[in-house]
């Protein structure tokens, strides 16, 4: 009897989301090897009233939707081995009000006026889906697919300086506000708006990478044994 151990490379996919480029950079800096996967159909980001009243649950739900959409399309490609899909979403919350991405320059100004001189929360939801995919029967496997996921959140606090209209107009003119929750990016020119913060800086940027790797250390492994097959001599 021959025992054959197949060592298959892990596949890791990052679902395209808000703060996308910064999340890519954070994962790369941490040493995670991954491929970018953007679902062909846009993910529904609408939330019902119950979720809007619960920001942590809302951000978890959006992260799960984004990762889940990518999982469905990855599975359609019939991959084999152990795969991870990471989806994330970040929200800015002030006094229970969720700030998404502004839809115009005037909307960005409105958000920044509300944030001026106050402390708000930045909540990131991260959903990690794990897939164990065996070869199809035609290729000598059993075709089984095992899928599971875990979702967590991380919260940081950011305090803004007292902003003048001149400060707000100058920042909006940079063009940074449009694609960012809360209409600012602490990792960019928006840093001048911030008086201070508490918690994980990377979480404010868009991905609490330390907590992610603490919970999922296998993301750093290059290869894992995912299947042992026995073949009669």
Residues 141-156 pLDDT 10s = 556 777 889 999 999 9
d(CA 180, CA 111): 11
Domain range for residue 134? Answer: 2-219
d(CA 60, CA 156): 15
pLDDT at 122 over 60: yes
Distance of CA 96 to the CA centre of its chain: 22
Does 226 reside within a domain? Answer: no
pLDDT at 29 over 50: yes
pLDDT at 1 over 80: no
Does 232 reside within a domain? Answer: no
Does 229 reside within a domain? Answer: no
Global pTM exceeds 0.75: yes
Which residues does the annotation mark as catalytic?
A: 89
d(CA 185, CA 165): 18
Does 230 reside within a domain? Answer: no
Does 233 reside within a domain? Answer: no
Does 109 reside within a domain? Answer: yes
Mean pLDDT on 121-147: 76
Does 154 reside within a domain? Answer: yes
**CATH number for 22:** 3.90.950.10
Does 227 reside within a domain? Answer: no
pLDDT in tens, 35-79: 777 777 788 888 888 888 899 999 999 999 988 888 887 777 776
Q: Dig out the tokens for 112 from the structure.
A: 């920044």
Our count of domains for the chain comes to 1
């Amino acid at each position: 009897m021959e025992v054959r151990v197949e060592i298959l490379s892990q596949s890791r996919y990052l679902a395209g989301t808000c703060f996308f480029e910064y999340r890519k950079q954070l994962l790369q800096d941490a040493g995670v090897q991954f491929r970018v996967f953007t679902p062909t159909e846009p993910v529904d980001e609408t939330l019902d009233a119950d979720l809007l009243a619960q920001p942590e649950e809302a951000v978890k739900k959006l992260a799960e939707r984004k990762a889940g959409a990518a999982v469905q399309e990855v599975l359609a490609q019939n991959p084999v081995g152990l795969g991870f899909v990471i989806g994330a979403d970040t929200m800015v919350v002030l006094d229970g009000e969720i700030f998404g991405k502004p839809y115009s320059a005037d909307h960005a100004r409105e958000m920044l006026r509300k944030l001026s001189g106050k402390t708000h929360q930045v909540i990131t939801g991260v959903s990690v889906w794990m897939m164990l995919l065996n070869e199809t029967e035609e290729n000598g496997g059993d075709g089984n697919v095992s899928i599971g996921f875990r979702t967590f959140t991380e919260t940081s606090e950011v305090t803004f300086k007292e902003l003048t209209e001149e400060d707000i107009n100058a920042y909006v003119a940079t063009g940074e506000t449009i694609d960012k929750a809360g209409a600012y990016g602490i990792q960019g020119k928006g840093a001048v708006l911030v008086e201070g913060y508490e918690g994980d800086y990377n979480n404010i940027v868009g991905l609490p990478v330390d907590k992610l790797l603490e919970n999922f250390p296998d993301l750093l492994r290059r290869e894992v044994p995912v299947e042992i097959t026995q073949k009669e001599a």
